[in-house]
Amino acid sequence: MSENYESWNEFFYQLKSKDYIVRLHDFLESEYKNHICYPPRQLLFNAFRLTPLKSVRVVIVGQDPYPNPNQAMGLSFSVPQGVTPPPSLINIYKEIEKEFGMPMNMASGDLTYLAKQGVLLLNSILSVRKQERLSHDTSEYRMFLSDVLSVLNEQEQPIVFMLWGGPARKLKVYLNNPRHLVLEATHPSPLGANQGGWFGCNHFIKANEFLVSNGSKAIVWQNQEAPQF
């Protein structure tokens, strides 16, 4: 399967012929019919809808969606406006504050402003049963993630991959394009961040420096100063 796609639509069209996609579709049909699952089905591919392939400049890989009601919205680490940001996201905000010396709006957990700037907020598993973390950890999702990362790896525009925590860091095996930058750190969850390796990682400054030095625009990470779309 060629990875030189011009759009996510082209990529998804080609996926239709793969056996694992048929199995994944059938699995999701059954899960969403027989269980409460998140995010809402219509938001399953929200990250791809909001961040076109040729616009991707940063990739942040999460694990699976939040398993609690009203949180998951198809973007890794993000929650809808009006929902209290979870601890991992608060730690991300704290690191952004530390790096740029500017305050974040800690009450807003909606990261759509980043997705629209070219930050692909990708969960390695796109769905989950209510209150059952990793309940959709299937081989089909792993194959899907492999295909997505292969496509991103082949892109010509400079991309920064932020791999946080052990599972995400293992994905480095798919990323060998010298045009891109891979940054690794501990996961920002309280368990990981409080043991060191997250605070002071400077990933957001490093990403902007890399993008600007390669002729791309810096990301406005601060949600109080984010551009309006």
**147 is an active site residue:** no
Written as six digits, the tokens of 120 are: 């692909």
Angle between helices 87-100 and 203-213 (to 10 degrees): 60
Write out 19-35 in H/E/C secondary structure.
HHHHHHHHHHHHHHHHC
3-state secondary structure (DSSP) of residue 160: strand
Written as six digits, the tokens of 44 are: 């399953």
Instruction: Name the catalytic one among 64, 110, 137, 147.
Output: 64
Contact predicate 117/57, CB 8 Å: yes
CA 52 to chain centre: 13
Phi-psi region of 43 (alpha: psi -120 to 50; beta: other; left: phi over 0): alpha
Cβ-based burial of 8 (10 A; exposed 0-12, middle 13-18, buried ≥19): buried
Strand duo 37-38 + 160-164: pairing: unpaired
Strand duo 128-129 + 37-38: pairing: antiparallel
Which residues are catalytic, by number?
64
